[in-house]
Amino acid sequence: MRYSAFQVLKQGLTGNKGWQRAWREPDPQQHYDVVIVGGGGHGLATAHYLAKEHGITNVAVLEKGWIGSGNVGRNTTIIRSNYLLPGNEPFYELSMKLWEGLEQDVNYNAMVSQRGIVNLYHSDAQRDAYARRGNAMHMAGADATLLDESGVRQLCPFLDFDNARFPIKGGLHQPRAGTVRHDAVAWGYARSADSRGVDIIQNCEVTGMMIENGRCKGVDTTRGRITANKVAVCVAGSSGKVMALAGLRLPIESHVLQAFVSEGLKPVIPGVVTFGAGHFYISQSDKGGLVFGGDIDGYNSYAKRGNLPVVEDVCEGGMAIMPMIGRARLLRMWGGIMDMSMDGSPYIDKTAVPGLYFNGGWCYGGFKATPASGWCYAHLLATDQPHDTATAFQLERFRHGAVIDERGAGAQPNLH
């Protein structure tokens, strides 16, 4: 069934009785061409592009819980392509372009909203670093403008320009950045993949990897053994756990990142604002909630919850630049498990085990990458060659020193 305004009208007039299931609930078959482990945004996007762009439809997406239950359903919904390094920027710009056509591509309104992002700077050195980045963006075909203080004032008059501990001197603005309704991304990809024949199998946890003669032949799951020509792991915070089933150690640590939403308020914040000096970023959802976050808690965790010091730190950052939010109330805080890599950049690669592929290490930047991650992972699975924009995302890059370290923080995951 195609979704459209006409359909909404028609169903509304007939008691909404005709809406069909958004995706089927099939039992797993014994064998697939490709088994994707992980029914999050990246796994579902991979399934969609495998089916749509490469015609590979004998595919299963295995999800241990309900689809979208991982980071795609618990992030701060920001999309942007304001990266610095050549290993990253073309990939994120591809992602941005895919976002721009997503809704028509999957026939699902994920509310891609290009409200813009501004990264504030507070010193000449930060300005110079942003100028370097903004130029890199231009050179990769993305958009960016460098704002001075008055430019930021015009965009965000509600910031504290007069009494800030770190005065706002300007910002790097990417107008095409914005926000997307996160759950709808998972649902839209799922519905589209399903309609092309992909089996989405929920409540199916992978418990073992079938490795025969050094080759991955499939997976054992809580719903039985499933064989596959290719097994594509795509499980974000659970990367360490799942890849350990294949005996692999990864350049990844799992960390908890908290995020926050306020009570619903009439619109006050038009786009996304990030305050790097204070570890704070914020936007306002279409429902009115202020959605904000900051740093990871900083210690290894699989607990999906954090502690108070970071909550306070994030709110301090918020009050430092926009003291008008003091009387807005924090409604809900939650934690997600981030697959923090050694240089802050991801992996989309084959592994040492033939037949086993890996996509992970997204740190806390995975949401914006969803379409390109799916696109490039599908490309790798279909052709066994990395996509042009993802050649740098190799698991073995540290062995050669080809790091993609945007922050220059070195091989310490909690600093990225």
Partner 1 sequence: MLIDHPLLGLRDAAEFVYLGDAALLNRPDASSADALDSFHDYLHLRDNVAGEHRELWYHEQGDRSWLVITRNTLTHAITAVELARDVAMNLREGANS
Partner 2 sequence: MSDRLALPGSHRIGHGLLSSEQSLTFTFNGRPYRAMAGDTLASALLANGQQLVGRSFKYHRPRGIFTAGSEEPNALVELGTGAYREPNTRATMVELFDGIQASSQNHKGPLSFDVMAINDRLSSFLSAGFYYKTFMWPKAFWEKLYEPVIRAAAGLGSLSGEPDPETYDKGFLHCDVLIIGAGAAGLSAALSAGRAGQRVIIADEDFLPGGRLNMETFIVDGLTGAQWAANAVAELRAMPRVRFMTRTTVYGCYDHGIYGALERRTDHLADKPAGARQVLWRIYSKHAILAAGATERSIAFGDNDRPGIMLAGSVRAYVNRFGVSPGRQTAVFTNNDDGWRTAMDLVQAGASVSAVIDSRNIPAPFPVPGAQIFMGSFVTGTQGRLGLHSITLSSGQTVYCDCLAVTGGWSPNVHLTCHQRGRPVWREDIAAFVPGQDLPGNMHVAGAANGSMTLTQALTSGHAVATHVLKELGATTAPASSAPQADEEHSGISALWQVPDCQGRSWVDLQNDVTTKDIALSFQEGFRSVEHLKRYTTLGMATDQGKTSNVLGLGVMASLNGKSIEQTGTTIFRPPYTPVPIGAFAGRSRGKHFRPTRLTPSHQWAESHGATFVETGMWMRAQWYAKSGETHWRQSVDREVTQTRSSVGICDVTTLGKIDIQGADAGAFLDKVYANMFSTLAVGKVRYGLMLREDGFVMDDGTTARLGDRHFVMTTTTANAVSVFRHLEFCRQCLWPELDVHLISATEQWAQFAVAGPNARRLLENIVDAPFDISNEAFPFMACAELSVCQGKPARLFRISFSGELAYEVAVPARYGNALMAALMKAGEAFGAAPYGTEALGVMRIEKGHAAGNELNGQTTAANLGLGRMVSQKKDCIGAVLSRRSQMNKDNAIELVGFIPEDASVSLRAGAHFIDRDAEATLDNDQGWMTSVAFSPDRNSSIGLGFIENGSQRIGETVVAADPLRNEFIPVKIVSPHFVDPDGERLRG
Return residues touching partner 1 (CB under 8 A): 239-241, 244, 249-254, 298-303, 307, 309, 342, 398-399, 411-414
d(CA 271, CA 285): 10
Residue 89 engages partner 2 in binding (rule: CB under 8 A): yes
Sites for partner 2 among residues 37-66 (CB under 8 A)? 65-66
d(CA 43, CA 60): 10
> Which listed option, partner 2, partner 1, none, makes contact with residue 82 (CB within 5 to 8 Å by class)?
none
d(CA 257, CA 310): 9
> Which listed option, partner 2, partner 1, none, makes contact with residue 240 (CB within 5 to 8 Å by class)?
partner 1
Q: Are the C-beta atoms of residues 291 and 264 closer than 8 Å to each other?
A: no
- Name which position in 57, 107, 207, 229 contacts partner 2 (CB under 8 A): 107
Query: Which of 173, 149, 147 minimizes the C-alpha distance to 161?
Result: 149
Q: Which stretch binds partner 2 (CB under 8 A): 42-50, 262-270, 350-358, 366-374?
A: 262-270
> Which listed option, partner 1, partner 2, none, makes contact with residue 388 (CB within 5 to 8 Å by class)?
none
d(CA 276, CA 82): 14
d(CA 234, CA 40): 8
Residue 129 engages partner 2 in binding (rule: CB under 8 A): yes
- State the number of binding residues for partner 2 (CB under 8 A): 122
Taking the CB of residue 52, how many other CB atoms lie within 10 A of it? 18
> Which listed option, partner 2, partner 1, none, makes contact with residue 197 (CB within 5 to 8 Å by class)?
none
Task: Look at the chain and count its residues.
Answer: 416
Q: How far is the CB of 91 from partner 1 (least distance, A)?
A: 21
> Which listed option, partner 1, partner 2, none, makes contact with residue 151 (CB within 5 to 8 Å by class)?
none
Q: Are the C-beta atoms of residues 114 and 176 closer than 8 Å to each other?
A: yes
Helix (H, G, I), strand (E, B) or coil at 349: strand
Helix axes 89-106, 182-195, angle to 10 degrees: 60
Beta carbon nearer to partner 1, 151 or 298: 298
Pairing of β 59-62 and β 199-201: parallel
Residue 170 engages partner 2 in binding (rule: CB under 8 A): no
Sites for partner 2 among residues 270-289 (CB under 8 A)? 278, 284-289
Q: How far is the CB of 256 from partner 1 (least distance, A)?
A: 9
Q: How far is the CB of 283 from partner 2 (least distance, A)?
A: 12
Q: How far is the CB of 226 from partner 1 (least distance, A)?
A: 23
- Please report the beta strands in 102-223, taking only residues with DSSP state E, as ranges in sequence order: 117-121, 145-148, 170-174, 178-179, 199-201, 206-212, 215-221
> Which listed option, partner 2, partner 1, none, makes contact with residue 266 (CB within 5 to 8 Å by class)?
partner 2
- Residue 99 tokens read as 């976002």
Beta carbon nearer to partner 2, 170 or 360: 170
> Which listed option, partner 2, partner 1, none, makes contact with residue 334 (CB within 5 to 8 Å by class)?
partner 2
380 to 399: interface string for partner 2, x by CB under 8 A = -----------------xxx
Residue 125 engages partner 2 in binding (rule: CB under 8 A): yes
Q: How far is the CB of 244 from partner 1 (least distance, A)?
A: 8
Residue 166 engages partner 2 in binding (rule: CB under 8 A): yes
> Which listed option, partner 1, partner 2, none, makes contact with residue 329 (CB within 5 to 8 Å by class)?
partner 2
String of DSSP letters for 205-221: -EEEEEEETTEEEEEEE
Q: Which stretch binds partner 2 (CB under 8 A): 21-29, 45-53, 226-234, 349-357?
A: 21-29
Which contacts (CB < 8 Å, 24+ apart) does range 368-371 have? 368/78, 368/79, 368/80, 368/81, 368/92, 368/95, 368/96, 368/99, 369/42, 369/91, 369/92, 369/95, 370/41, 370/42, 370/45, 370/72, 370/95, 370/185, 371/45, 371/94, 371/95, 371/98, 371/99, 371/102
Query: Which of 65, 68, 60, 66 minimizes the C-alpha distance to 42?
Result: 68
Residue 29 engages partner 2 in binding (rule: CB under 8 A): no
* Beta-bridge mates of residue 79: 178
Q: How far is the CB of 300 from partner 1 (least distance, A)?
A: 5
Sites for partner 2 among residues 286-345 (CB under 8 A)? 286-289, 303-305, 307-308, 311-312, 314-320, 323-334
Residue 114 engages partner 2 in binding (rule: CB under 8 A): yes
Helix (H, G, I), strand (E, B) or coil at 397: helix
